[in-house]
């Protein structure tokens, strides 16, 4: 099993550009989520999904969209990139919303917005 | 809303010294998880604590959950260079709500050989 796969690993965008960060898991996990990590800020939850067709906002959802059309995929869309979105983005999944099983993280996407 | 404070933010130790990081919540927690992130890597699950006063050990790592379930700690005995990284506590958002897992700010541990 590959676990949680994120692409791309690195990305540079200009202000105003849009892009999609891809996340896929092959563990049949119901719960998927996106975090951003900034120095001194820990990991902050952007959006999460408890199953296909269901998404909800986390702590810092502004400027990001998500969708969950399949169990496996949970893409994160930046609508109009801003320098404040420069960060490392992690996708994470676990079996279900309720069981508090461990989160499995992808390797991350390092995004720079100039 | 829930406030989670993790201290210290940084800790520098000599190899062989002990290390402790603390996680304090303003609300009662149903459980708490701990993760480790190596430099340049992604967070990796270490352990989950559920019961009041629970203590769990993994080799040189000791995890505790407070009696009031509002605080937790991770203690490493006789640190090694392989312990380098950032340690995060991760309680559920709002203390008990399902779904959202929040993370403390993390403690960055450096170990000097």
Q: What is the pLDDT of residues A84-101, one digit of tens each?
A: 999 999 999 999 877 778
Query: What pLDDT does residue B2 have?
Result: 54
Query: What pLDDT does residue B4 have?
Result: 85
Mean pLDDT of B57-63: 98
Q: Does B43 touch chain A (CB under 8 A)?
A: yes
Domain count, chain B: 1
Q: Does B21 touch chain A (CB under 8 A)?
A: no
End-to-end CA distance of chain A: 36
A42 and B99 within 8 Å at the Cβ level: the answer is no
B92: domain CATH number is 2.60.40.10
**Share of residues in chain A with pLDDT > 90 (%):** 86
Q: Does residue B42 contact residue A106 with C-beta atoms inside 8 Å?
A: yes
Range of the domain at B84: 4-112
Tell me the per-residue pLDDT of A69-79, one tens digit each, with 9 for 90 and over. 999 999 999 99
Query: What pLDDT does residue B101 have?
Result: 80
Q: Does residue A86 contact residue A112 with C-beta atoms inside 8 Å?
A: yes
Residue of A nearest to B99 (CA): A97
């Amino acid at each position: 099993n590959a676990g949680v796969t994120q692409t791309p690993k690195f990305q540079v965008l200009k202000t105003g550009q849009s892009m999609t960060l891809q996340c896929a898991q092959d563990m049949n996990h119901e719960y998927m989520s996106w975090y951003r990590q900034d120095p001194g800020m820990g990991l902050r939850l952007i959006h999460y999904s408890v199953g296909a067709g269901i998404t909800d906002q986390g702590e810092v959802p502004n400027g990001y969209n998500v969708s969950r059309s399949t169990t496996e995929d949970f893409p994160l869309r930046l609508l109009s990139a801003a320098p404040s979105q420069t960060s490392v983005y992690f996708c994470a999944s676990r079996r279900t919303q309720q069981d508090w099983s461990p989160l499995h993280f992808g390797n991350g996407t390092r995004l720079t917005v100039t | 809303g829930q406030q989670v404070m993790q201290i210290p933010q940084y800790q520098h130790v000599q190899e062989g010294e002990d290390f402790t990081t603390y996680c304090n919540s303003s609300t009662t927690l149903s459980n708490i998880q701990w993760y480790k992130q190596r430099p340049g890597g992604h967070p990796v699950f270490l352990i989950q604590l559920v019961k009041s006063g629970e203590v769990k050990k993994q080799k040189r790592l000791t995890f505790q959950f407070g009696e009031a379930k509002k605080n937790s700690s991770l203690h490493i005995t006789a640190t090694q260079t392989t312990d380098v990284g950032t340690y995060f506590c991760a309680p559920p958002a709002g203390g008990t709500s399902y779904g959202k897992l929040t993370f403390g700010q993390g403690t960055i541990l450096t170990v000097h050989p």
